[in-house]
Chains A and B, each alone.
Chain A
Amino acid sequence: MHPGFERSIHRIVGSNRVSQRTTDRQTYSSDMWTKAQIWRLQGNPSKHRPDLIVWPETVEEISAIVRACQKFSVPIIPYGAGSGVCGGTTPTRGGLILDLKRLNRVLAVDHDGYTVHAEAGVIGEVLERTVNRVGCTVGHFPSSIYCSTVGGWISTRSAGQYSSRYGKIEDIVLGVRFVDGMGRVWDTRNSPEGIRSLNLLPLITGSEGILGVITDAHLRMHPQPQTAGFRGIEVPDIQTGLELVRILGQMNHRPLLVRLYDPLDTAVCGLDKSEATDGNLVQGIQSLIGRLSSKLGFMAQEKMDDLGSSMQAFGLTYPSVSNRVTRLIRESCLLVFGFDGDEEGVARSMRYALQQADKLECIDLGEAPGITWLQTRHDASFRQSSVYALGGFIDTMEVATTYDNLYRLYDRVMRATAPYAVTMAHFSHAYREGCSIYFTFGARHRNPTQLEDLYRRVWRMAMNTVIENGGTLSHHHGIGLLKRDRMRDELGAGVDAIRALKEALDPNQIFNPGKLIP
């Protein structure tokens, strides 16, 4: 790294807010991408280290840092809270990590206009609590709300768990300010309509830091609802469940939440609270295999429990067996849904939804499954370590498609990945036209050195199947490094358009190189 560059950075932010320490460089070498966890398992914890980490506090500082990076051709990787799962912040070419967590002020809460102006580094939970104080909500509740930032949400087109009601982040954001690759500050707000102009907001939203760095954003707020009601329904099979998801997703009273779990995911969640395994895939597999064995008289459930981790490791190493067992059991599925609003409206919509469920011969499980979901909704991501402890990996793929194509896409992906990974899925984020399918893959290889190859194979099979069957590559995790090579399948020459946009805004190609587009 050029000494002149280091001096420039120190001059801009002061020495306290720059670090080149090994521990920091290791920490910022990846986000929560599963492939990086595999690298860690294989004893290579920081395959791609940044050269330095900087914590700016103002837009002016960011602008000056960008100009310095431009002068010395140093890559910049904008960094929020590091909870991305696609490698979007991996510094593959070294460079400077621009950690935005010190841009953490909620600048204004306009109660009359129901808008909030927040800096990019504000953590989701902090933002929500701040607007709650004036009786409002942003309505954006990603499962990473404790460890994700406003800037990260916008740059990856994130979705909250209540996106059916409040929309995805692109529906919530009203305008952003960002600094481009020349250090120029742009404000997308108040763009005129009716005259020839680029609409920059949708172009910056989802750009994953390759066009510039988002510094602050104006977001919508909503009055906090008077009440919210949740319900659990046991549906006889997935197809029936999907019909109910469609009915709920197309109601005029937008549902707060609709989640349909497939049989294995239902086993993981538990149809009632006593069965719940709190989002742990390996326990779910064990529970299913155990139940089947007991049913067929192979082995008592108690004995299965004793086998513990060896059974779990077996289930992950031989996914064909686990997946076949799941299919054989043909369990019913759990559907959780909810509404918010005034009490009368919620009661009316709940009555209608239950009538529809009854017509489809579903069983009303009462409020308990919904309440359980509400209480444990942020738990899953913290409980995946058991899979890594067994020497395996776990990853998730979220795709979207229209209702007419949902079951076909689900079925094809399940079949395509079955030989390589234990796969479960749930359907959520129901909109008027379709919804998201959230697949979870877990696998383990007898030879740990082959784990990365196995990981690549699972993803290749899954993405091929999604593309061949008309699904979108991502619903809310973004692209990063993981899916960028398939972007031409997703957007065609749109990749050239994004590249042209990058050349116009970042002519020296310093922002987050190698991400989003091949």
Chain B
Amino acid sequence: MNRKQKMAILATELQTRLRGRLPSDRILVEPQGRDVATLCPETGAELSQLLATVRELQLLLKDPTTRRTSGKYYVGLDLNRLSRILDLDVTSHCVTIQSGVTLGSLEQWLVIHGWSLGWVHSGLEQHTVAEVLQSSLPTFPSPRYTDPIRSVRGYQGILPSGGEVWNKTGPARATGPNLLGMFSGGYELGVLTRIVFSIHPVPTNTTVAEVTATSPQDLLSLAGLECRSPHKPHRILVCKLAPKRKKQRWKLVASWNDSEAAAQQFADRTRFRGHDPIIHRGCDPDVLEEYAPRTDNFFTGIAGKIPDELLSKMERSPARWIIGFRNAHELQLWPHSEDHADPDDITRKWFHDQNHDVQEQHKKLRKSLIQKLTIDAENTSRESV
């Protein structure tokens, strides 16, 4: 039996097992496709049934970052039917949505109602919320609005076993590990179905400050300090520009929403350090367009400060690097959108050298966890205290 025949048999089996339990259009079969079928659930309960059946047939669930392995059979997941905006709570600054909503449509809808997610950028608009949260797509870091993962205030998801996991809507909790850490990095450990995001009022004005220097160190220190202030900028980047007369140039770009005073204070601080800042209003979208990380970038997260060795490599590299501040202690590095990739593979190599052993450990743990989660959890007896 060849692969095509086997796929056809599996697709028929999948449809047979779910016949009568789910509408037939929840499973799409494309005879010429690379996957056995595409699952199109409309609710979390439907997804639960679909995943349980997929597990019974030992099929693998494919997500946007899955690399196919020969000899394995995959099913795709289309979350477009899970695309409802369920609730807007303006008192608690939260929006509840299904995870198939695209970020672009959500942001548009929110802006009409006077709200914003804060961290959406043009490269992400076409992606669904589930893809962004579960596929580690690069986002534009924002000290004020944080990032997609940190903006989650509640969620529901389906484990590979079909079980439903949830975290109630709430600002902060101490109820065990934050299981969102398990959902990042693909659909293998579960699929998010419902998300509650923190939202912010649409700003009435934006003030941008730019400072240029010949080396990045002072700009990085200035950016770090700014992230620690109570009035955090909503975005702050240190970018390497194309050299001018063979001289290196770095630029700090920071923007504040509804806080011109904070921008002016920042300008005063930079002048005190001998820089010549430029302040202007309302050009943040241009900054987004030019510096946003591409979704196919390899981008590196750094905790603490950038190691000197890596920074000097970045200085020597011809690539125009962008260093985004998620907050004072967490940075992201990526090459300029026109450079498409890290030409010298600096960050990838550096990361590999630093973390090779850790990565191997993580891979093994992930594999073991997938195995354990696909087996129904056994009921362990409660200990009487």
B358 and A191 within 8 A (CB): yes
B41 sits at the interface (CB 8 A): no
Which of A87, A208, A218, A432 contacts B198, CB < 8 Å?
A: A432
Q: How far is the CA of A34 from the CA of B369 in the complex (A)?
A: 36
Do A200 and B174 touch across chains, with their CB atoms under 8 A apart? no
Q: Specify which chain B residues have a CB less than 8 angstroms from the CB of A184 in the assembled complex.
A: 361
Q: A198–B172 contact, CB under 8 A? A: no
Asked if residues A220 and B167 are in contact (CB atoms below 8 Å), the reply is: no
Q: B229 is contacted by which of A186, A192, A341 (Cβ under 8 Å)?
A: A341
For A101, the chain B residues whose CB sits under 8 A away are: none
- Docked-complex contact B304 and A115, CB < 8 angstroms: yes
Q: Which residues of A contact B136 (CB under 8 A)?
A: 193-197
Of residues 137 through 196 on chain A, the ones whose CB sits less than 8 Å from some CB of chain B are: 156-159, 163, 165, 168, 170, 174-175, 184, 186-187, 189-196
Chain A residues closer than 8 Å to B167, beta-carbon distance: 490-491, 494
Tally of A interface residues using CB under 8 Å = 104
Cα–Cα distance between A271 and B159 once the two chains are bound (Å): 51
Within 8 A of A (CB), among B326-385: 328-330, 332, 351, 354-355, 358-359, 361-362, 365-366, 368-369, 372-373, 377, 380, 382-383, 385
A189-B303 in contact given A206-B178, A500-B369, A518-B382 (Cβ < 8 Å) = yes
Interface pair A404/B92, CB less than 8 Å apart: yes
A433 at the interface (CB under 8 A from B): yes
Across the two chains, which residue of chain A brings its CB closest to B352?
A192
A419 at the interface (CB under 8 A from B): no
Asked if B355 and A194 make an inter-chain contact with CB atoms under 8 angstroms apart, the answer reads no
Q: Which of A20-28, A386-394, A479-487 faces chain B?
A: A479-487
Let me know if B318 is at the binding interface, CB within 8 A. Answer: no
> Least Cβ distance of B199 to chain A in Å?
9
- A206–B182 Cα gap in the complex (Å)? 14
The segment from A292-300, A372-380, A470-478 that touches chain B is: A470-478
Query: Is B216's beta carbon under 8 Å from chain A?
Result: no
For residue A438, CB closer than 8 A to chain B, the reply is no
| A491 contact set on B, CB distance < 8 A | 165-167, 175-176, 179
Once A193-B332, A497-B373 are accepted as A-B contacts, the answer to whether A481 and B230 lie under 8 Å apart by CB is no
11 pairs across A/B with beta carbons < 8 Å?
Answer: A114-B224, A186-B358, A198-B366, A206-B176, A341-B229, A401-B170, A431-B172, A436-B172, A476-B174, A483-B175, A495-B377
B interface, CB within 8 angstroms of A: 65, 89, 91-94, 136-138, 144, 153, 156, 159, 161, 163-182, 184-186, 189-190, 198, 200, 221, 224-225, 228-231, 258-259, 297-305, 328-330, 332, 351, 354-355, 358-359, 361-362, 365-366, 368-369, 372-373, 377, 380, 382-383, 385
Given contacts A207-B176, A493-B161, A501-B182, 14 further A-B contacts (CB under 8 A): A87-B385, A174-B303, A190-B351, A197-B184, A197-B359, A198-B185, A199-B185, A434-B171, A470-B169, A475-B174, A487-B176, A493-B165, A497-B373, A503-B372
Q: Could you tell me which A residues sit within 8 Å of B by CB distance?
A: 87, 90, 92-93, 110, 112-115, 156-159, 163, 165, 168, 170, 174-175, 184, 186-187, 189-208, 211, 218, 220, 222-223, 246, 250, 252-254, 339-341, 345, 349, 400-405, 429, 431-436, 470-479, 481, 483, 485, 487, 490-501, 503-505, 513-514, 516-518
List 7 A-B pairs, minimum CB-CB distance, nearest first.
A493-B163, A496-B377, A402-B92, A202-B181, A157-B174, A113-B305, A199-B181
